[in-house]
Structure 1
């Protein structure tokens, strides 16, 4: 073994890879190493595991190491780290269970055949031990990632089902993830475990970068938990378990992930899966707070707005849930009846919403506001039919008359007659042809401003939403709805509208790209209000710096006392 002459770790992976021998012999040596590695105690093992992790990240579809027994090796190393704390605390071994779980997750991410080999190698029991918190939250995060990949394949999900406790732990993690990361890492800046710091930033960027990365990982811990739960939610027998936990169900819309995890549908994605089944819709209908939250998301700039609309439409369509949700949902959905599309497969979405609302117009048990909303939808449908046959000259005259009423409303608004201005805008909307979408968007937006000044926030949200359905990028409506949501105590919805307004400002031609001070102030305020750890900090206390020069005084080694702290915290 010439490659090993100067190597301090005889028989290491890198030496075996460099050996100038026949491929079959090299493969045999690597397979033997995978068998022996969990039994070895010499230093330097983390280098081999780290190298394998990099290989898995770079070549997740290369099956050579899988054939040679890498999954069995990683599962054994995870168990060793859990059972042998002395070994774990020596050298750099504290990193090994984390890397081992990451290797399993990387190789099972794309190729289903690899996932099958992984479950046959019994990686699930090892990952489950990490998921339960036998080590720390960073290992829980990568265990979730790996189990989530295994759960996405039909061929391997049955192995997940055999461990029903995975669902229970995932639900608990989804609910507690932010508290866990805040209390075990984020809050006590001077007592953060060094190996956690190394994993987060590789020692670069300082405390600020470390904290930002911790927020990102905390969001992933929660969102990956939800993704795993989502795989169970598509099976009715397990959907009952998810829906049976009302407290969890009511928290889902608050599991947002914030701006650090914009790509994950998070809690609302799971709610959409739940609402696909009638039993799920009945459970959601029994949670008025959830339905109200769906109404707010449906009328917002959230990327997942269409998911909220889907949920509301399904709830209203289902006879088992319609009566329970109609009074809440109708007033929100009526604002969306002129929505064209939101995602590629949803065309003329507003027509579907209108048809759904008018499915049974003879219902008698509705509140007066609901009846008015449904009558408004029916009248708009009838008006559209009439306008299709109306003379074009008559339509132009009505459009011009509506413009004059709008100008009269503007004059009244300027003079301080807010109520009179709103009345004129209402007259203009009644006269303006439905096809004059741009003009009607401006009138709705002006009336929304009147509602804002009258402190009628829900009406302002309603009119702003209608304007945005007619003209998606109507800047004034975004700003007015952002203000209305702020006054309603809904910082997330306010923030997202504010960001959209900022984007529209920066893209407007012939204007300075600087963000207006007022919108910058609102965005900063709402970002503080929607900070990922906001609730955790209120529950557990503010961030603390106990030892001024703690990091400067620490040894670079990961000794047993540091591990014991990690174990106790978890």
Structure 2
């Protein structure tokens, strides 16, 4: 091999910037006795034919040699695969087969992991396999031909640690997402499906008990190095551990979703475990994994099959969680709505879920669109009123909710369509007077009377006057909030947000619903609404002055800090101090001046705190291609 050898300065410069792992610098590397130097000499060879030949020779020999510099080669391969996942040169030269053999070697010979810095190699090898299979089916097929599936399954079993499980399930998920390579994963379905379910349910406990909850000086050193690349202290390690724990859970759910989409028999395996379904509705990915639909993505797929609908409809806790998601500002709100619609459109599951689902969906019946979904409110109305005239009445909250929607969306709509224009104008004027009287009663302290006036105004206000009705619902939600009726406040705030343009774009309604969810102890939903409220504070058209000051309202900052401590992935595992407040003292209940343009009662002024400090994903985003394939 006629290759130019790296000198020591170039070698050290190349490795120090990409890895915290070090090698002995006293020995001068040689192209003929150091695999590390041969790899980098080969990768820099300008002649394509010679480069391919040298790389092929290197990858063929690497698994059969024991060299202290292997870990540096793996770190470099990791960086190359992350930055150039569609470049076929290294995979075609044998890199994927080399990675598969290295993982197999680690699983078969644990003693080998104790030599040099080989403990890092399985992680890097599985990560390289996952990075090269994330975009191109051809490279995924090459990984299957290289025998990657079996060793990856071995890592997912927990043969090493949760760190290796994360990259193993990531790679298997990529292989399971293509038509051409899914059969290779399907051959392991009897093991992979239960295994992914178990890891998804237990991984947060595992990461907390084995890393986050352990004093820094007692943590696995190679875990610390991989998490932060040698930068940052314990706080950065904890943030990255939370991020990785979320990714491990979400990739397990993604793998299950691949099976659920492509193999209907897997629905039986998943739905047989009621405990897993209950765990599933609590898997939301956290704030660090916003691109993943997490638990609701899998539930939505299950709701497309009869087996899945029967299992979900039979678990009240899961149905309740779908209702809560549907009345939230979460990015995956539409998935919660879809799940509920699947359940009530199926006559076999309709009666089981109507009591919980109907009141929730009625609040959303005036949605015009949600993202790319057009006329969503019409679909909700049609589904709820299915067989309304002759189905057996079950009584309770569901029947009352559907009856109110019939009166609003059918009877009242018909009346207003034939109503003379003069009468419409008169009713609109009367509604404005009622609203003004309601505002006066509210500011004088008579909240109950104000609520009555707002209700009368809603009965008069024409359905086409969406903005005026939005304000009335939002103001009435504030009345319910002060009367300590959070369920009614959530219902009215949701109706206001359904009328908003864009949907969920009315700041005061978001803040009021956030407080109502806080009263009910629903930290995640409260947090989502509060974050959306703060986003509107800085980016809404009417908030130029506030945006220039660039300060988060104090009451909103307090609410976010409070709910983040409760809604975090490790919240139920960590021991934290609870801040006690006086009875009835909720963040931001002391409202300031009203908005004169809408004559709406206020939400508070507040000041201070310039940032939220929310963690963000620093590695790779969730695969948009994969998400598109499963959500459609």
Map residues 62-81 of structure 1 onto 2, 5 A cutoff: 62-81=87-106
- Deviation track 1:294-314 (CA, whole Å, cap 9, x = no partner) reads 111101111110000101111
Q: Which residue of 1 aligns with 2:537?
A: 505
Q: Which residue of 2 aligns with 1:196?
A: 223
Q: Which residue of 1 aligns with 2:196?
A: 170
Map residues 354-503 of structure 1 onto 2, 5 A cutoff: 354-361=381-388, 362-380=390-408, 381-471=410-500, 472-503=504-535
Q: Does 1:242 find its partner at 2:270?
A: yes
- Counterparts of 1:26 and 1:444 in 2: how far apart (Å)? 69
Is 2:34–2:69's contact at 8 Å kept on the other side of the alignment?
no
Shift of 1:36: 1.5
Match for residue 531 of structure 1 among 568, 575, 584 = 568
| Change beyond 3 A, Cα 1:96–1:446 | same
Q: Which residue of 2 aligns with 1:10?
A: 34
Shift of 1:2: 5.3
Is 1:4–1:10's contact at 8 Å kept on the other side of the alignment?
no
Q: Does 1:278 find its partner at 2:313?
A: no
Q: Which residue of 1 aligns with 2:76?
A: 51
Is 2:355–2:396's contact at 8 Å kept on the other side of the alignment?
no
Structure 1's consecutive aligned runs of 4 or more residues displaced over 6 angstroms after TM superposition are: none
Shift of 1:7: 2.1
- Counterparts of 2:254 and 2:438 in 1: how far apart (Å)? 50
Is 2:281–2:321's contact at 8 Å kept on the other side of the alignment?
yes
- Counterparts of 1:42 and 1:174 in 2: how far apart (Å)? 36
- Counterparts of 2:558 and 2:395 in 1: how far apart (Å)? 39
- Counterparts of 1:328 and 1:411 in 2: how far apart (Å)? 36
Q: Which residue of 2 aligns with 1:351?
A: 378
The alignment partner of 2:369 has SS state of coil
| Change beyond 3 A, Cα 1:84–1:4 | farther
Shift of 1:279: 1.7
Shift of 1:79: 1.5
The alignment partner of 2:450 has SS state of helix
Map residues 232-381 of structure 1 onto 2, 5 A cutoff: 232-234=259-261, 235-344=263-372, 346-361=373-388, 362-380=390-408, 381=410
Match for residue 116 of structure 2 among 91, 97, 102 = 91
Shift of 1:30: 2.3
Pick the structure with more helix per residue.
1
Is 1:438–1:470's contact at 8 Å kept on the other side of the alignment?
yes
Match for residue 182 of structure 1 among 201, 208, 225 = 208
Shift of 1:25: 4.3
The alignment partner of 1:401 has SS state of helix
Is 2:393–2:399's contact at 8 Å kept on the other side of the alignment?
no
- Give the TM-score, by structure 1 length: 0.91
Shift of 1:360: 1.1
**Ranges in structure 2 where 5+ consecutive residues have no aligned partner:** 7-27, 578-632
- Counterparts of 2:92 and 2:394 in 1: how far apart (Å)? 64
Q: Does 1:522 find its partner at 2:559?
A: yes
Q: Does 1:130 find its partner at 2:155?
A: yes
How many residues align? The count is: 538
Shift of 1:18: 4.1
Give the structure, 1 or 2, with the largest relative contact order (CA under 8 Å, sep 6 or more). Answer: 1
Deviates more, 1:368-377 or 1:9-18: 9-18
Q: Which residue of 2 aligns with 1:110?
A: 135
| Change beyond 3 A, Cα 1:26–1:456 | closer
